[in-house]
Amino acid sequence: MKVAVYSFNNFEKRYLEEANKSKHVLQLIPVNLRKDTLGMCAGAEGISLFVNDDASAPVLEALKAAGVKFIALRSAGYNHVDLAAAKKLGLKVAHVPEYSPYAVAEHTIALILALNRKLIRAHNRIMDLNFSLDGLTGFDLYGKTVGIIGMGKIGRVVARIMKGFGCKLLAFDIATDKQLSETLDLEFTDLDSLCRRSDIITLHTPLVESTRYLIRKERIEKMKDGVMLINTSRGGLVNTRDVIDALKKGKIGYLGLDVYEEEKGLFFEDHSEDILQDDTIARLLTFKNVLITSHQAFLTHEALQKISETTIHNLDCWQNGIKSEFELA
């Protein structure tokens, strides 16, 4: 099968080639799928998409007209795909439901530790031969209350790690788990209570209509002064402008982001020679208590291997006329 791989990144090449074993003809396209790049998949029966590709209804209709039948996502999230439109058009869509919850969970912890102990600022000082410790005071994680929003596989790994630091654990999810509560001494509670009581809040829930702007002004106002907020899930969970206002007032004392609601066209690309056009992220970059990474939480050897293997598995199934167990539509 000829497959157009949109949003291709060089770090994926080795893993895709090893998983593919030359079974499919992969056309590696280093740009996002959008209306003006549709022509690049000419002759392809399948396409593979990443998190910032545009798979809205108009784009899907054009793909269908171009002869595309299959869409293999290289991600767990699928909020960028209009599944209802895909189903109506008869397009098969499959995702990678699990790659490495440890990759994202461990990156979450890295953000927490780096923000708390001001590691980036400390490193920059040392590079300037400034060995002063003024302004680098952190806090003990031991005994602090950590609120975890979303208790899927990633949230559970985060909970286990933070339990190891001696933290008190609060959780919010649409479903509770009595066994998990007992094992980790974790308390499931409502979202507002979690916000009021937590010293650190970390997001691990998918982006759907009900979770968009889950963190916004009214909810931030319920949080402790100086709270640490971490988002390694989806940018749209957080109203960035409300977060900036809270940072300016000191309500949010630490912010760690691996995702951003307007990251499309920004993340995964080198803009070092460009003038930054996004005023919102430009403002975020002025805060010393903000740490941003470019959607790299998933970026481990193990995760890339699993993503590639599952992507090729989905393509294999379709080529052989078999329904993939990971199909969404």
Instruction: Kindly list the catalytic residues.
Output: 234, 263, 295
Q: 16: closest CA among 102, 77, 74?
A: 74
Handedness of CA 100, 22, 41, 83 (dihedral sign): negative
Q: Are 244 and 262 in contact (CB under 8 A)?
A: no
Identify the burial level of 125 via C-beta atoms within 10 angstroms of its C-beta, where 0-12 means exposed, 13-18 middle and 19 or more buried: middle
Q: 44: closest CA among 323, 318, 327, 289?
A: 318
> d(Cα 43, Cα 305) in Å, to the nearest integer?
27
